[in-house]
């Protein structure tokens, strides 16, 4: 079978990652719920992770996978701090949207 012989190349993964990154950025611009905006940031981080691994495989260089490891650590820390901020905002003002975060200004 001819189709089975086609192997996905690094470019395919880069195109997929570009699409996911664009979807995540549109979501970040469109949605107003801070939790969903956070999920869109995770989408964008994962798109970048995909490019790192695709190019690490293509170049035969493990450094890209190490970078993904650090991205995951930073993403975990970022989610913890971000959700802490969201909890303290939403506890004070239930149903707050991203627009209401302007009230954080002193």
Partner 1 sequence: MELVVFVIASAMVLVGALGVVVRSNPVHAALSLVLTLFGIAVHFVAMEAHFLAAVQIIVYAGAIVVLFLFVIMLLGVDKSEDLSIEPFPIQRPLAVVIGASLAALVIAAAVRASDRLPEGTPLEADGDSNIELLAQNLFSDYVFAFEFTSVLLIVAVAGTVMLTRKEKKGGDS
Report 58-87 residues binding partner 1 (CB under 8 A). Answer: 58-63, 65-66, 68-70, 72-81, 83-87
Is 98 a binding residue for partner 1 by CB under 8 A? The answer is: no
Site string for partner 1, 5-44 (x = CB under 8 A): -xxxxxxxxxxx-xxxxxxxxxx-xxxxx-xx-xxx-xx-
Q: Min. distance of Cβ 105 from partner 1 in angstroms? A: 17
Q: Min. distance of Cβ 8 from partner 1 in angstroms? A: 4
Q: With H, G, I as helix, E, B as strand and everything else as coil, classify residue 1.
A: coil
Per the document, the length of the chain is: 106
């Amino acid at each position: 079978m001819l189709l089975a012989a086609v192997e996905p190349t690094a470019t395919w993964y880069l195109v997929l990652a570009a699409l996911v990154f664009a979807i995540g950025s549109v979501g970040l611009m469109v949605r107003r719920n801070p939790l969903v905006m956070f999920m869109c940031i995770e989408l964008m981080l994962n798109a970048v992770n995909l490019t790192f691994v695709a190019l690490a495989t293509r170049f035969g260089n493990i450094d890209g996978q190490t970078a993904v490891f650090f991205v995951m650590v930073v993403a975990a820390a970022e989610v913890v701090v971000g959700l802490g901020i969201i909890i303290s905002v939403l506890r004070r003002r239930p149903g707050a949207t991203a627009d209401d975060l302007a009230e954080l200004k002193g």
